[in-house]
């Protein structure tokens, strides 16, 4: 049996100095994104607009309030195992900036870090493959 399509929403959040916020899930959560740095985000809930979902996910995971600056090109990920689709996610993300709150981990996140753009290549192997693609789409890296 194939899995349902998930609509993933998130944000590439930059601070006033151009650093990018990255987070990691708690080990107990497990899953496709486990152990790698990702941008804050998650699944869109029924009845939410994309923008509402992004703001909710960012708030749940980081306690930050954000302004959505501009939409990024959507992309998808299909994972198969044993001939069956085990994950199909369509990512809809925005560039964003902080408008309030204090960074603290929440929800299913256990680490959060601000990374200067020029240091992202230093942690490239620790970024999730989909995060690498998102940061390229956002023109944070080449």
State the CB neighbour count (10 A cutoff) for residue 20: 22
Q: At residue 117, what are phi and psi to the nearest 5 degrees?
A: -50, -40
Asked if residue 65 belongs to a domain, the reply is yes
Give residue 83's pLDDT band: very low, low, confident or very high (50, 70, 90): confident
**Rounded distance between C-alpha atoms, residue 45 and residue 56, angstroms:** 10
pLDDT higher than 90, residue 27: no
What is the pLDDT at residue 28?
A: 64
**Confidence band for 33, pLDDT divided at 50, 70 and 90:** low
Q: Per residue in 88-119, pLDDT tens? A: 999 999 999 999 999 999 877 889 999 999 99
Number of domains in the chain: 1
Please check the confidence at residue 38 and state whether its pLDDT lies above 80: yes
Confidence of residue 30 (pLDDT cuts 50, 70, 90): low
Q: Is residue 50 part of a domain?
A: yes
Q: Is residue 142, in this structure, part of any structural domain at all? A: no
For residues 69-97, give the mean pLDDT. 94
Give me the domain span that covers residue 108: 5-137
Q: Is residue 90 part of a domain?
A: yes
- CATH at 39: 3.90.79.10
Full-model pTM: 0.91
41 part of a folded domain: yes
Residue 47 lies in a domain: yes
Q: What's the pLDDT score for residue 142?
A: 81
Cα 25 to Cα 30: distance, rounded to the nearest angstrom: 8
């Amino acid at each position: 049996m194939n899995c349902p399509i998930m609509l993933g929403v998130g944000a590439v959040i930059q601070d006033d100095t151009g650093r990018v916020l990255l987070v990691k899930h708690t080990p107990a959560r497990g899953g496709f994104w486990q152990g790698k740095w990702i941008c804050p985000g998650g699944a869109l809930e029924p009845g939410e607009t994309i923008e509402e979902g992004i703001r909710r996910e960012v708030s749940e995971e980081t306690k930050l309030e954000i302004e959505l600056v501009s939409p990024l090109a959507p992309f998808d990920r299909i994972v198969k195992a044993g001939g069956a689709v085990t994950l199909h996610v369509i990512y809809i993300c925005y560039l964003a900036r902080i408008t309030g709150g204090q960074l603290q981990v929440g929800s299913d996140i256990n680490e959060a870090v601000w990374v200067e753009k020029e240091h992202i290549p230093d942690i490239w192997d620790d970024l999730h493959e989909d995060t690498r693609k998102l940061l390229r789409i956002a023109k944070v890296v080449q």
